[in-house]
Amino acid sequence: MRPIIRFSATPLSRGISTSAPVLAVAKPKKATATSKGGKQGFNQKKKDATSGGSGGSGQSNVALKFSMAGQIPDLSDYPKLQSNNYRSENVGKPTTFSKSTYDKIKSFGLSKKVDQELSANGGPASIVRQSTIDLARQLDSAKGKSSKDSRYVLTGERGSGKSMLLLQSVAYALESGYIVLFNPKATEWTNSSSHYIYDSSTQFFNQWESSQTILSNLSLNNKDKLDQINLIEDIDFSSIPGVKNLTKGTKLSELVSLGSKDDRLSVKALDQVMSVLEQQTQFPVIWAIDEVQTLFKISEYRTPDYTPIEPYHLSTPRLALDFISGRRSFAKGTILTSLSLSDPKNLPSSSLIQGLSLKSTKEITPYEKLNEYHLLHSKSGLKKIEIPFNMSIKEIQGLYQLYIRKGLTSNNQSDDLFMELINSSQGNPFEIKRGLNRLRGIITA
């Protein structure tokens, strides 16, 4: 039988009282006389706010005091993760993201895991790692050369911090004069979560929703730069009723805005925008993509006869693969991608493992058929940046201090408990955070 739950009116507390329901049949309630206004009511006794908790009644009160609630951690004394702080002497130091930069990053649509980690307990903060500095230097060197020569993929074991390092790199690019395209959830391009339609002229399946999202984010975070770039040729939209053609010399921001608002031309507009960004040399361009492994395996989309659709037959993944493989490139810029191993249903395919020579427990036999297109894309000169499984002692210390400040563990620390955390996690960022639950129990016991 379900208990009856009552909430008592205790000042600055919430009281919960429970009691077993009475098994005896309740007496029927009598209706009161009809009032003059024609309304009918029922007599109801006023409940005693202090009921419950009597010795032999089987009732009890549980009071949750507001005084038990902790204060929001104050991280204001930490330095900002700005472009001038990407220096080796800051390795291991906790830093926070500036509000303007983090607002831009968040507008791209972070994954649930990363968003929860950054939004809770005092706001967005991270540790500067040696890999953070190395990636920033890669972006500096890519500013003056073609993205065909600077195409990277972050690899490494699960929990090594690839997504956070990618995000830190995007923050650096936003503050270093880059035009930034950032897609934290490439899986949304292949998981059949948005509309698509076959285009007989291109023989691809157009995904106008994802094209609109990319254009909208591009405009939101780069409009000042897009206003300074002009179209290098006329763009004909005469085949689409009610849409005016754009002439040579028009601001690129107008084409971006047009495509983000009209789903009929969003796919074509995105392709034209990327063509302009390929040729312009005023600003370096970065396209950062997380969960990139999803582009190297069969998608969850289906044709009308339920035949699986490959990513290179879908408009958005096809466009991304053009730049990842080097078929298309920015005159100045870089392509920075990352593998994500957090979803066991979306792990790298055999073709990607073989093409990038990834470490894997999955055995690939000579009899396994590999997709030749995925194999060629992964072997197209994409450079691996291996993120180490474990962090350095200095980085671990900084991460531990950040978690203490955020209230994820007790500040009653000791060398023995800190060393136990290192030994149990082997210095892996994901395992460190997961191990804090057990460590917290030891500290507070």
302 secondary structure, DSSP code: B
pLDDT digits (tens, 9 = 90+) for 51-76: 444 444 455 555 544 444 567 788 88
Phi and psi torsions of 429, nearest 5°: -55, -45
CB atoms within 10 A of CB 30: 8
Residues 6+ apart with CB under 8 A from 68: none
CA distances from 45 to 19, 26, 29, 42, 48 (A): 18, 15, 12, 10, 9
- Ranked by mean pLDDT, which of 33-42, 71-80, 280-289 comes out on top? 280-289
- Does residue 23 carry a pLDDT above 80? no
Q: How confident is the model at residue 36 (pLDDT cuts 50, 70, 90)?
A: very low
Q: Which of 419, 395, 427, 438 is nearest to 131 (CA)?
A: 395
pLDDT at 422: 82
CA distances from 386 to 161, 324, 358 (A): 11, 17, 10
Which range (131-135, 379-383, 389-393, 435-439) has the least confidence?
435-439
Task: Note whether 166 and 154 are within 8 A (CB).
Answer: yes
pLDDT at 430: 86
Q: How many CA atoms lie within 13 A of 79 on its CB side?
A: 16
Strands 204-206 and 4-8 turn out to be unpaired
Structure tokens at 153: 């993929």
Residues 117 and 232: their CA atoms lie apart, in Å, by 43
Is pLDDT larger for residue 112 or for residue 219?
A: 219
Q: Which of 94, 72, 92, 70 is nearest to 81 (CA)?
A: 94
Q: Per-domain residue ranges for the chain?
A: 1-29+42-69, 137-386, 393-444
Query: What letter represents residue 34's amino acid?
Result: T
Residues 162 and 385: their CA atoms lie apart, in Å, by 10
DSSP string over 64-86: EEGGGSPPPP--TTSPB--GGG-
Can you tell me whether residue 154 is helix, strand or coil? strand
Mean local confidence (pLDDT), 203-218: 96
pLDDT digits (tens, 9 = 90+) for 352-371: 999 999 988 777 888 889 99
Structure tokens at 294: 């999803």
- Ranked by mean pLDDT, which of 33-47, 193-207, 403-417 comes out on top? 193-207
Residues 393 and 219: their CA atoms lie apart, in Å, by 41
Phi and psi torsions of 244, nearest 5°: -85, 145
pLDDT at 325: 97
Which range (58-72, 257-271, 311-325) has the least confidence?
58-72
Q: How confident is the model at residue 19 (pLDDT cuts 50, 70, 90)?
A: very low
Mean local confidence (pLDDT), 415-438: 79
290 secondary structure, DSSP code: E
Residues 90 and 85: their CA atoms lie apart, in Å, by 7
Q: How confident is the model at residue 81 (pLDDT cuts 50, 70, 90)?
A: very high
- Does residue 148 carry a pLDDT above 50? yes
Residues 251 and 183: their CA atoms lie apart, in Å, by 24
Residues 373 and 355: their CA atoms lie apart, in Å, by 11
Residues 111 and 124: their CA atoms lie apart, in Å, by 14
> For helices 315-325 and 266-279, what crossing angle results, to 10°?
10
pTM (two decimals)? 0.81
CB atoms within 10 A of CB 110: 21
